[in-house]
Amino acid sequence: MSHSLTNALPPQARHLVPEARPPRPPALPIPLPPRRTTRMVARRYELGARLGSGGMGVVWSGYDLLLDRVVALKELTGDRGRAAALQEARAAARITHHGVVRVIDVVLASHGRDWIVMELLPGRCLGTVVREDGPLDPARVRDLGIRLLEALSAVHSSGLVHGDVKPANVHLCDDGRVVITDFGLAQELSGDCAVITGIAEGSPSVLAPESIAEGRFGTASDLYALGVTLYMAATGESPFEETTPAAARRIGPLHAVIEALMHPDPQHRVSAPAALVALRRSRTIAPARRLSPEAALAAR
């Protein structure tokens, strides 16, 4: 309404007329985000620091730009093909348990590599903890054994054998979780075993005798590897070396369960439920005979 028409209104009505607004300035262009110079995967995941590496690949910290969260990315290297990448991701993804690493995504052929995207686990692996801080006390090893037995039971109930249980593949999280990682050697179970033709893969220090001799992996071979892992956690030493007095003292309360897990004959190896009962009740299992270093090596 013009100024002259406003003046023509009675004074008591003039406040009802809105005052003229100045013209809006021309719209400015929306600024574009700065161009990222960091390495990206699938235009979604931003790579951060390198966390570790092994025979199967390199693990990086990362950031999911789409869902605004931190992640871990495993860059598969070596001779592993796309089928192996999918097999590893699908193996871990079919297990729903707080003690098993959670797979989020798979990216195929980005930067010439295949990638597995997982939850980022704060903390350190068991091997690093023992190396940097020393062996765990028996009570903590007992708790560790219970949690790993529960997680392995979930793996086996899903029809899988992990195939590479070892200190490097057990993650001790800052929030108290104990998580089994790296399903690169996981296999489908047929009955209680998965027979692998050719040379057995995995870490020789934790392989069960039947895995080395026959390429046979199963629930029992995972339990054998768990026994070795718990021994290393409690002593900082390998069970196939001469036991020092200090290691004997540390392993004392747990020796029966660990020896039962490491029985050289898979038919006589303790089952996961029996080991869980023994650890939860702090009772001893009737132990297998004590293996000397020479006998243990001969069994291999």
Annotated binding residues for ATP: 74
Tell the residue number behind the tokens 């297990």, with chain if given: 95
Please name the residues in contact with 175: beta carbons below 8 A apart, sequence gap of 6 or more: 122, 123
Is 79 among the residues known to form the active site? no
Q: Which residue has the tokens 């009675």?
A: 10
Helix (H, G, I), strand (E, B) or coil at 173: strand
Nearest to 145 by CA among 271, 276, 238, 29: 276
Would you call 218 exposed, middle or buried from its count of C-beta atoms within 10 A (0-12, 13-18, 19+)? buried
Binding residues are 74
3-state secondary structure 91-126: HHHCCCCCCECCEEEEEEEECCEEEEEECCCCEEEH
- Considering 164, 175, 182, 222, which one is annotated as catalytic? 164
Query: In sequence order, what are the beta bridge partners of 118?
Result: 72, 103
Rounded Cα gap, residues 150 and 99, in angstroms? 8
SS3 content of the chain, % helix, strand, coil (to 5): 40, 20, 40
Find out whether 220 and 207 touch, Cβ atoms under 8 Å: no
Angle between helices 272-280 and 138-157 (to 10 degrees): 150
Smallest Cα–Cα separation from 88: which of 111, 64, 62, 55?
55
Query: Do 62 and 45 form a contact (C-beta atoms < 8 A)?
Result: yes
**Residue 163: DSSP 8-state:** -
Residue positions annotated with a catalytic role: 164
